[in-house]
Amino acid sequence: MRIFRLMDLFAGCGGMTRGFVDTGRFEPLFAVEADEYAAATYAANFGAEHVVADKIENVARFPRADVVIGGPPCQGFSPLNRGGVGLERRALWREYVRALREGEPAAFVMENVPELLRSDEYQAFKRAAEQELGYTVEGEILNAADYGVPQRRRRAIVIGVRQGGVPWPTRTHHDPATEIQPCDQPWVTFREAARGLPRKPNGKNWHIGRNPRPETIIRYQHVPPNGGNRFQMQDALDADGLGHLVPRCWRNKPKGTTDVFGRLYWNRPAFTIRTEFYKPEKGRYLHPEEDRPITIREAARCMSFPDDFIFPDGQKWTEVAKQIGNAVPPVLATAVAHVLAESLDVANQSDCRRAA
């Protein structure tokens, strides 16, 4: 069984690499990540000798590899990025093309927010990969929950191959609330993801979280268990004579942002885990019953990171949170990696028959 050499661009903490390595078919040989904390996490898990902690533009030359993976910075494509942060990084697709040209891989996988597929940059990347480098390129939007990740996370996955058709993983899980599919499994829930963790954070293996102010805890206490939202919280605060704890900006916005200050549901996957999941004012990140946001470990499990994945103890917990929110869920990456390895096996067998 052939082991394929793997190059990870914009590697982050190594979520996609972990997913590929978990198949037993891929061996990481090179990675580049500009964020020093994320690069240190990658090094702790996969070795420091082959990871470059620098901007991708500063890589002099990329090595030969069988497969290239990686997700360029997504902030420039995200609809949540109203401030235009990171727009200058949208052009890094050119560095991805350079890595393909120099590394000459048989296949590549790119991950990003769904909006990538509608961008001019993606169209330019696709033309370069197909017309200049000879890949067949397809992009699809996959929901991580459909592949066993306890999180509803829709992401653009772009796959390019030199030989054969583009392989796509088959869904293994479904939404039991809307679909009846006895041939596969129901979505993995938050209850399953958090199984075995103490309800009260114990500080072990990153089961830690935010230390909110007393008035913030009172707000948490007024959100109904197993769901809820800011409107129900506001009504409960008003009923208890605590209306002064409702921010004026919420009073002035009677519609929308229904997930803000909401709780996760025990029997559903988590909602999209972003980089500031420890702030309920950013989304539905409160524990289903405890009066607190989810912890670092709970978020890591919702992202499908196994507990043996190393987040170095010396790092700030906000930096670790950012790495988790920016990562590719390893279980989703594994689903893609399996079908890609099978596709490469077929291509290699065809090459051997032609050579004979």
Active site residues: 74
C-alpha 310/C-alpha 303 separation (Å) is 14
* Separation of alpha carbons 47 and 129, rounded Å: 30
Helix axes 317-326, 36-46, angle to 10 degrees: 80
CA distance 248 to 283: 18
User: Token pair 């420039």 is at which residue?
Assistant: 76
**What is the DSSP secondary structure assignment for residue 245, as one 8-state letter?**
G
Phi, psi for 41 (deg, rounded to 5): -65, -45
Helix (H) or strand (E) holding 347: helix 330-355
299 is written with which tokens? 């978020």
Count of C-beta atoms within a 10 Å radius of residue 89: 18
3-state class (DSSP) for residue 208: coil
What is the dihedral sign for C-alpha 300, 277, 218, 210? positive
Assign 67 to helix, strand or coil. Answer: strand
What residues form DSSP beta bridges with 28? 6
Question: What ranges make up the beta strands (E) of the chain?
Answer: 4-9, 26-32, 51-52, 67-70, 107-112, 136-143, 154-161, 173-174, 185-186
